[in-house]
A and B are shown apart, each in its own frame.
Chain A
Amino acid sequence: MVRLNLILLALAVAFALSVVTANHHARKLFTALEREQNRMRDLEVEWGQLQLEQSTLAAHARIERLARDKLGMRPPAPGQILSAEAP
């Protein structure tokens, strides 16, 4: 009788400890998840800013200015255009 009680006590203590460990583990994982989610949000923000930067740099007005002034490009005269037909 006493031995059974002791075994049950030991089991109870073991389970109690495992609950504590599991809880602790869950919280640690959750914090990690939280950190990753924050990182995701930050990256999304950064992505938005990069898109903005890209479209500012790729603005047609800027491209045209650079092409005309810096690279000395101009639209081809009609006579310089050759059309190729798909076979």
Chain B
Amino acid sequence: MRFVKFASSPLLSQALPVWRMRFVMWLLLAAFAALIGRSVYLQGFQKDFLRQKGESRYERVIEISATRGRIVDRNGDVLAVSTPVKSIWAIPEDAKLTPHQSRELARLLEMDVRELNAKLASDRDFVFVRRQVPPDVADRVAALRLPGIFDQKEYRRFYPSGDVMAHMLGFTGVEDVGQEGVELALQSQLAGKPGSRRVIRDRRGQIVEDVESIRAPQEGKDVTLAMDSKIQYLAYSHLKQAIAEHKAKAGGIVVLDAKTGEVLALTNWPTYNPNNRVRLAGAQLRNRAFTDTFEPGSTLKPFTAALALEKGAYRFNTPIQTAPGRLSIGPATISDTNPHGTLTVAEVIQKSSNVGIAKIALSFPSEEMWKMYDNLGFGTPLKLGFPGEVGGRLRPAKSWRPIEQATMSYGHGISVTLIQLARSYLAFARDGDLMPLSLTRVDMPPATGKPAFSAQTAREVRAMLELAVQPGGTAPKAQIPGYRVAGKTGTAHKLESGAYANKYVASFVGFAPVSDPRLVVAVMIDEPSNGKHYGGEVSAPVFAQVMAGALRTLGVAPDAPLTPLHVANVPPAKEEM
């Protein structure tokens, strides 16, 4: 090889054609322009698309779940709460499990292996293998690292009080949406709205930076019910006991706070356990106090008496001839179980005379009675937002025949729900006004409600109702030692396919303490069939037990003199219906 100095290279002295130089120069310029053009294109026109693609490599939008609000009673006891559980799901196409793996999975999930295999053999893209398993089981499933098997977080609702409050609370479905009761009625308050946010994750999947919050999660609001779980339990256990004792078909109890119109307890039989709804029949599910109407019988008598006092045609002591215990109106005859002679208006209520009250009722135009019943809320649903509420039957006054007007005064030919009946007694427990009912706790109750009767009338009817539970009345078994009690029995024949059958509805509605009524309790026992069927024998004792317990729970001061407390150890006077 021969070395030459660059400067003296013979190549330099050689003349080259000018076009070659130009050609190379333009080529380089063109390449440069192409580069600039490309970068302008990427940076300028494609910027958003590329940035998005880039971010999608490390950014994730994650869902933030919101919990459903709790339901608590008026004292803050938890009645319904959601806790997280996991649902195991699978992509059947990817879930190719060895027989050993599927056995293991089935064992963990407490499922039948065949059932599991059938689910995994499905040709859909997504199947739930098992929903709502406890988190620790889900963690063990995840630890198996099975292909195509995943889990997802869900919430499950628990009801610690079980069947005691089932009808009031209702329940939610697997999607955590209310399906019955308060869960459905207050769904919009209880439900939370899940939020989402955008984050940056590192290689190990840990979140390193919060980019933005797309939607903040909204936790469901807690709901405080008016219900007092102690009173509810009292009502439930006494109802259950009474149903068993009288071999009854169904029953219900409603406890209202006379001062505020709050529903302190509401229970029905038959009931169910909301935590385990595998075998659930329609009859168990129905919240009878709201959805089932019945003919209330004599419990409606005080309203006709109140109307009579209100119109001034009758007074507390106006005598009415009820002998011979029968009254013919057109072709029909109404009668008393036990014939009485001349009774005062107060005694008509005390002894529950059908003839007496029918005579009073027939002295008004039918429109006036209709107006009173309508004003008391019969015939129209209470509109508490409870699912399936009904209004009962109150036919327009124009279609009433005289016999119907007479029977309606003692609660036949008209149908009401138990909660309507309980509410209508607020008019007597208060000074003639009706409070709107509330399922949730009322902290600032309105001073007065809708007027139904004058305060004077309410006081007089209260005195009549107090007579009814005293010796000589229909319900001495409703007495409570230490408190003055007032109330009215009802024993109604049941309507079966248009005719009155030999089946009864025994009811009792009352309030205490009479000096300043605090509680209204309504008890209804459907088809008691163990020998006794009168409201005074079947329902009144239940009323007394629930009322006594509830007054004690609320710490209401006794208003009867202290001496009868000791006297009351002697069994109460024997009194036939």
User: A-side interface residues toward B, CB under 8 Å?
Assistant: 26-27, 30-31, 34, 44-45, 48-49, 51-52, 54-56, 58-61, 64, 77-79, 81, 83, 85
The residue on A at minimum CB distance from B233 is A60
Chain A residues with Cβ under 8 A from B374's Cβ?
A: none
**Most interface-central of A44, A48, A58 (chain B CB within 10 A):** A48
B84 touching A45 by the CB < 8 A rule?
yes
A31 touching B206 by the CB < 8 A rule?
yes
B210 touching A30 by the CB < 8 A rule?
yes
Q: Please tell me if B284 contacts chain A, counting CB pairs below 8 Å.
A: no
29 residue pairs A–B, Cβ–Cβ below 8 Å: A26-B209, A30-B207, A30-B209, A34-B207, A48-B67, A48-B81, A48-B83, A51-B70, A51-B81, A52-B78, A52-B83, A52-B158, A52-B160, A55-B77, A55-B78, A55-B160, A59-B162, A60-B161, A60-B164, A61-B162, A61-B233, A78-B565, A78-B566, A79-B565, A79-B568, A79-B569, A81-B482, A81-B565, A83-B557
CB distance from B478 to the nearest CB of A (A): 15
A85–B555 alpha-carbon span in the complex (Å)? 12
Contact of B83 among A45, A58, A78 (CB under 8 A): A45
Chain A residues with Cβ under 8 A from B237's Cβ?
A: 61, 64
CB distance from A45 to the nearest CB of B (A): 6
CB distance from B55 to the nearest CB of A (A): 17
Apart from A27-B209, A51-B70, A51-B78, list 15 A-B contacts with CB within 8 A.
A30-B207, A31-B208, A44-B67, A48-B70, A48-B83, A52-B83, A55-B78, A55-B161, A59-B161, A59-B162, A60-B164, A61-B162, A78-B565, A78-B568, A83-B482
Chain B residues with Cβ under 8 A from A81's Cβ?
A: 482, 565
Chain A residues with Cβ under 8 A from B481's Cβ?
A: 78
A-contacting residues, B145-162, CB 8 Å: 158, 160-162
User: B-side interface residues toward A, CB under 8 Å?
Assistant: 67, 70, 77-79, 81-84, 158, 160-162, 164, 206-210, 229-230, 233, 237, 481-482, 557-558, 562, 565-566, 568-569
Known contacts A31-B207, A48-B82, A55-B161: does B482 contact A78 (CB below 8 Å)? yes
Chain A residues with Cβ under 8 A from B482's Cβ?
A: 78, 81, 83
Chain A residues with Cβ under 8 A from B233's Cβ?
A: 60-61, 64
Chain B residues with Cβ under 8 A from A34's Cβ?
A: 206-207
B565 touching A61 by the CB < 8 A rule?
no
A49–B134 alpha-carbon span in the complex (Å)? 12
Chain A residues with Cβ under 8 A from B67's Cβ?
A: 44, 48
A85–B160 alpha-carbon span in the complex (Å)? 37
**Most interface-central of B78, B164, B229, B558 (chain A CB within 10 A):** B78
The residue on A at minimum CB distance from B570 is A79
B78 touching A79 by the CB < 8 A rule?
no
Chain A residues with Cβ under 8 A from B78's Cβ?
A: 51-52, 54-55
A26–B77 alpha-carbon span in the complex (Å)? 43
B207 touching A60 by the CB < 8 A rule?
no
Contact of A78 among B79, B164, B569 (CB under 8 A): B569
Chain A residues with Cβ under 8 A from B84's Cβ?
A: 45
A31–B209 alpha-carbon span in the complex (Å)? 8
Chain B residues with Cβ under 8 A from A61's Cβ?
A: 162, 164, 233, 237
A81–B555 alpha-carbon span in the complex (Å)? 13
Chain B residues with Cβ under 8 A from A26's Cβ?
A: 209
Chain A residues with Cβ under 8 A from B81's Cβ?
A: 48, 51-52
A54–B77 alpha-carbon span in the complex (Å)? 9
CB distance from A46 to the nearest CB of B (A): 9
* A-B CB proximity, top 9 nearest: A78-B481, A60-B233, A55-B160, A55-B78, A56-B160, A79-B569, A78-B568, A51-B78, A48-B83
A59–B208 alpha-carbon span in the complex (Å)? 45
Chain A residues with Cβ under 8 A from B161's Cβ?
A: 55, 59-60
A59 touching B160 by the CB < 8 A rule?
yes
A35–B177 alpha-carbon span in the complex (Å)? 30
CB distance from B15 to the nearest CB of A (A): 45
The residue on B at minimum CB distance from A30 is B209
Known contacts A48-B82, A49-B83, A52-B83: does B209 contact A83 (CB below 8 Å)? no
Chain A residues with Cβ under 8 A from B158's Cβ?
A: 52
A79–B568 alpha-carbon span in the complex (Å)? 7
Chain B residues with Cβ under 8 A from A60's Cβ?
A: 161, 164, 229-230, 233
